[in-house]
Amino acid sequence: MKYASFVCAALTAVLPTTAFAQTGTIKSIRLSSGGVAEYVRSLDVGEDGNAVIDVPTDQMDDFLKTLVVSGPAPVRSLSTTGPDMVDETFKVLPITPQDLDSAAGVLRSLRGAPVSANGVKGRIVGVEPASEKQHARLIVMLDSGAFDIAEIGGAMAYKLDDPKDAEMISRAAERLSSDGVQGTRAVTIALEGKASGAIDISYVVATPLWKPSYRILVDAKGKARLQAWAVLENASGEDWHGVSISLTSGKPVTLRQRLYARAWPSRPEVDVANLDIGGAKRNRFGGALANKPLTEAPAPVEAAPAATIAATADEGDVVANFDLPGVYDLKSGETISVPILDREIKAEFVALYREGARHPDAALVLTNDTGTSLPPAVAAVYDEKGRYVGDARVGNVKPGGLEKATFAADQKIEQEVASAITSSFRTVIVKDGYLEATLERRLRKTFSVWGADADRTFVAEDPGMAGWELVKSEGVEETPQGARATVIVPAGKKVSTTIEWRMAESETQAIADIDDTVILQWLDEGPAPEIASKLQGIVTARKAQKEAERDLSTVMQEIEDATSESSRISGMLASVGDTPLKQQFLQDLTEQETSIKALRAQRDEARDRLEKHRKELGEAIARL
């Protein structure tokens, strides 16, 4: 029975394993468009039931995050040396890595250790520093209690007489060599029981992106030969021998997580001066902090689950797969380009409208009937005679999808576009003292093309605008991006096609606040005759009412002026007494009163006329 184990990221830091480390045999590599590679390796299991693999230090995080083991028994644990193995080793030793740079440094760090130097046995007392005139010198206390001094350097030979001291120096040197030269960690995979034989492991690590490219060879019969190639590199640091390679395209989520580096939680430091003699904590902070334990254990750090990708052959649920035939040998650092697809697909040559240009674009409308998604890439386009005609961008095309591959400007034909916006009323409704008018605006884009020396298919695409609805017509279809119009352009003829959009707009205004200029604007929009007649009735009634209001205002002003003049004449009449002027003033006063009487009659008439026009305006509004 085989066991597949998704290995968590908990490791045991150990000294170098005694088992033989290996890289195993690479069985297959799956390169993803997310910039990662899934390796499948076969590892031999030793007699102790363990398999050991050397993993580059810079890949340890990804290795721990994604490792899956498939073998004869479940995985019991993983173990390896820690990321700071040099620091951890020297932490418990009396020497430092710098001490190993010189004999004087080693001897100085081992004060009190037994030593034999140039035939003299004793214990190291110290090292006298070097000066301009002499080398550093070793000071040794002999068993007799006497001191001897030996110059360090030249022909000096010394030996550490305690085997533990020699072992310690050897261990420190070995650890420095392992960390500084190898750049790898030996990971031991321990299986339950005494399993033997071999196991398969898979894991995902960072790798350069594989890069697709296309060649499109056009056939005059509405077909094209689509060739897809992939450029990939071996940047793993090891040679590939007889490796099966597959490629995936899509938009995978590829995350990084620091699992190998040590993470130390921060803990608050408590000053002894803030503690009571009896050990009770002083209530220095107050509140919730006062009742917490002195120290708190950090929350455990949970390892992220291994990432998995579920896919089937060819077109998966979320990615497209390309399994390369056979196996490959590729040295570290080499790059290869391999064909991954060679199919005949539907391809129609069209002239594609290009906004703001004199000439449309030459393009191919491709139908992806390959059965798998086509990753985005650049395509080199060749005509039916095998001549290169340009490059095109190919997007991510799902199975059955269409792609417009523009590769050049079609300078044999010309194009132009004309736009026009019109408006018309749909309804005018009066409700609760408000007038609501609904207008329909239409935007027409007319595309014209001419000058073809052979029959061409012209395609015009318009993205439309938010809130606008396509007016369906022959040769025009709605697309996810907007609308597309297709028309055949005969040789030597000029043809046009139109894409039309419409949008309904509503305007609501209080009737009391409505202005004639607004109504006149509405009339300019060309409403239906019945609505236009009603709107015109409002304008006419409103105009007559304003004229009546203006006439009434004029009469009222004239009455006010005449009354003021009559008062002035009366005052003058009182001041002249019985003189010849008195008769003149009496005559003027009589004329003024006659005029006031006539003006009052005009005022009453103006009021009646204003009331009449107000009633007519109300009736005109009610007819809407």
- Extents of the domains making up the chain: 1-101+175-207+240-320, 102-174, 331-408, 414-513, 529-622
- Please compute the mean of the pLDDT values over residues 60-64 and round it to a whole number: 92
- Report whether 487 contacts 454 (CB < 8 A): no
- Maximum mean pLDDT: which of 131-145, 412-426, 562-576: 412-426
Question: Which one is predicted more confidently, 596 or 9?
Answer: 596
Exposure letters 82-99 (e unless 16+ CB within 10 A, then b): bbebbeebbeeeebebeb
* Segment holding 378, helix H or strand E: strand 377-382
Give the count of beta carbons closer than 10 Å to the beta carbon of residue 350.
19
* Interval 72-96: pLDDT, tens: 888 988 888 776 666 666 766 777 8
Residue 565 to residue 67: CA distance in whole angstroms: 111
* pLDDT range class, residue 19, cuts 50, 70, 90: very low
The yes-or-no verdict on residue 571 having pLDDT over 90 is no
Higher pLDDT, residue 141 or 312: 141
- The pLDDT-based confidence of 284 (bands split at 50, 70, 90) is very low
Neighbouring residues of 59: CB distance < 8 A, sequence distance ≥ 6: 205, 206
Q: Is the pLDDT of residue 57 over 90?
A: no
pLDDT at residue 22 in the model: 66
**pLDDT band at residue 305, thresholds of 50, 70 and 90?**
very low
Model confidence over 328-339: pLDDT tens digits?
Answer: 999 999 999 999
CB atoms within 10 A of CB 259: 19
Higher pLDDT, 584 or 455: 455
Residue from 257, 260, 306 nearest 56 by CA: 260
Q: Is 213's pLDDT higher than 50?
A: yes
Res 18: pLDDT: 37
- CATH top-level class for 102-174? mainly beta
**CA pair distance 68, 202, nearest whole angstrom:** 5
Those residues whose C-beta lies under 8 Å from the C-beta of residue 551, and which sit 6 or more positions away, are: 606, 609, 610
Instruction: Round to whole Å and give the CA distance between 156 and 142.
Output: 18
Q: How far apart are CA 3 and CA 74, in angstroms?
A: 6
User: Mean pLDDT highest for which of 174-183, 184-193, 284-293, 445-454?
Assistant: 445-454
